[in-house]
Amino acid sequence: MSKLSIRDLSLNNHRVLMRVDFNVPLEDGRVVDDTRIRETLPTIEYALRHGARLVLVSHLGRPKGKPNPTMSLKPVAERLRMVLDKELARGENVGFCPECIGPEAEEMAGKLEQGQTLLLENLRFHAEEEANDPKFAKQLAGLADYYVNDAFGTAHRAHASTVGVTRFVQKSAAGLLMEKELQYLGKVLRHPERPFIAILGGAKVSDKIGVIRNLLDKIDVLIIGGGMAYTFLKAQGEPVGKSLVEGDKVELAHQLLKEAKSHKLKFLLPTDHVVAEKIDANALVQTVGSGHIPPNMMALDIGPKTIEAFTEEIARALTIVWNGPMGVFEVAPFAKGTFKVAHAIAENVGATSIVGGGDSVSAVNAAGVADKITHISTGGGASLEFLEGKKLPGVEALTDKK
């Protein structure tokens, strides 16, 4: 990587401002899923082991630039304390500041000792964060000597805590999680082992246009499932009933199919479908072939023939990128396709597999195969933009290696 790493910084007795992604789900003031906290533990542990005085900053939710008690990071500080105590026996050294800038934040950060951690309150309680306001960024930077970004999930946002702050510190570096994300995603774009397949699902073609275009000359096989498949099938002239279709993207889908053909790309769409009149656990479900979706029904999952074709292709691959489910997997009758794809990827132990996007990550967790995936990306929007070939502001802002 051409950017400085936390490993390149002399951390001992220096204050380090670390941008983390602690945007975790809360219920009744408690953290219900601490995956994102645990993902950044290696970077936190590295900093503390090397004598840093650590100041953590994050956003949580969308408080629209105003304090909102339901989106306070205080419960996150409590969970971090528990996790650090269990994993590193350092829980007692975690403090929480009810502000992220101003005198109280400055005082608490200034009193930090080596090996101590301070989590500041939600950055987005200030509208200046998302506006990348220089004064706000300078106040954040004033809390530390160095800056480390370990929040890949926010790297596609040019905010004060991801971009602005880098202008006011001595050095800015990538954390270990950020490095890991860039390493895996960068490798599949630059030096993938072949066959290289991309599996794209989810509701909308419009969310994945950039990814499809950027991958056309890089991959060997493109598999499309989920709601977005029906815009492509409509573009091929197939009746799709009441299935989800982006009417204004049908012509674009037709164009993408032509582009795929010109690249001699194997392009797989569903050939049979699990359909119902509505999305309901008790809905009357049937399986039909392509061209036979009844006018009053919608396709909500891929059928058995499609599952077989997709899983056979997955078994042959040496590089796999998956973003987006094959159907409405949250509802039991429409979960089989997504779970079968998850298991097929997990069972291909010879392949490098990368899963990104919130729904796909939820699917591999629900299928019980997360530990068999080579890399699960923590950044939904950021990983998509990276796969589109876009530069990420939060990465570009880091200090270049000399």
Is 227 one of the annotated active-site residues of the chain?
A: no
CATH class of residue range 6-176: alpha beta
**Side-chain half-sphere CA neighbours of 318 within 13 A:** 7
Identity of the amino acid at 282: N
Active-site residue, selected from the candidate residues 3, 36, 53, 90: 36
- Of 33-37, 71-75, 223-227, which gets the smallest average pLDDT? 33-37
**β pairing state of 272-276 and 286-289:** antiparallel
d(CA 235, CA 252): 8
pLDDT above 70: residue 267: yes
Domain extent listing, the chain: 6-176, 184-387
Q: Please tell me the predicted confidence (pLDDT) of residue 207.
A: 85
pLDDT above 90: residue 359: no
Q: Please tell me the predicted confidence (pLDDT) of residue 4.
A: 95
pLDDT band at residue 91, thresholds of 50, 70 and 90? Answer: low
Is 36 one of the annotated active-site residues of the chain?
A: yes
- Mean pLDDT score of the chain, rounded to an integer? 93
DSSP state of 400: B
191 vs 55, higher pLDDT: 55
CATH code for residues 184-387: 3.40.50.1260
45: exposed, middle or buried (C-beta count within 10 Å: 0-12, 13-18, 19+)? Answer: middle
Compute the average pLDDT of residues 156-184.
Answer: 95
Cα–chain center distance at 95? 28
Q: What is the pTM of this model?
A: 0.89
Q: Please tell me the predicted confidence (pLDDT) of residue 35.
A: 85
Is 194 one of the annotated active-site residues of the chain?
A: no
DSSP state of 334: G
Same topology between domain 6-176 and domain 184-387: yes
Active-site residue, selected from the candidate residues 358, 368, 390, 391: 358
Q: Please tell me the predicted confidence (pLDDT) of residue 85.
A: 84
34: exposed, middle or buried (C-beta count within 10 Å: 0-12, 13-18, 19+)? Answer: middle
The angle subtended at Cα 112 by Cα 108 and Cα 118, nearest 5°, is: 65
Q: Is the distance from CB of 273 to CB of 292 less than 8 angstroms? A: no
Percent share of the chain, pLDDT over 70? 99
Q: Please tell me the predicted confidence (pLDDT) of residue 271.
A: 97
Active-site residue, selected from the candidate residues 138, 171, 187, 204: 204
Is 142 one of the annotated active-site residues of the chain?
A: no
Task: State both tokens at 334.
Answer: 């429409």
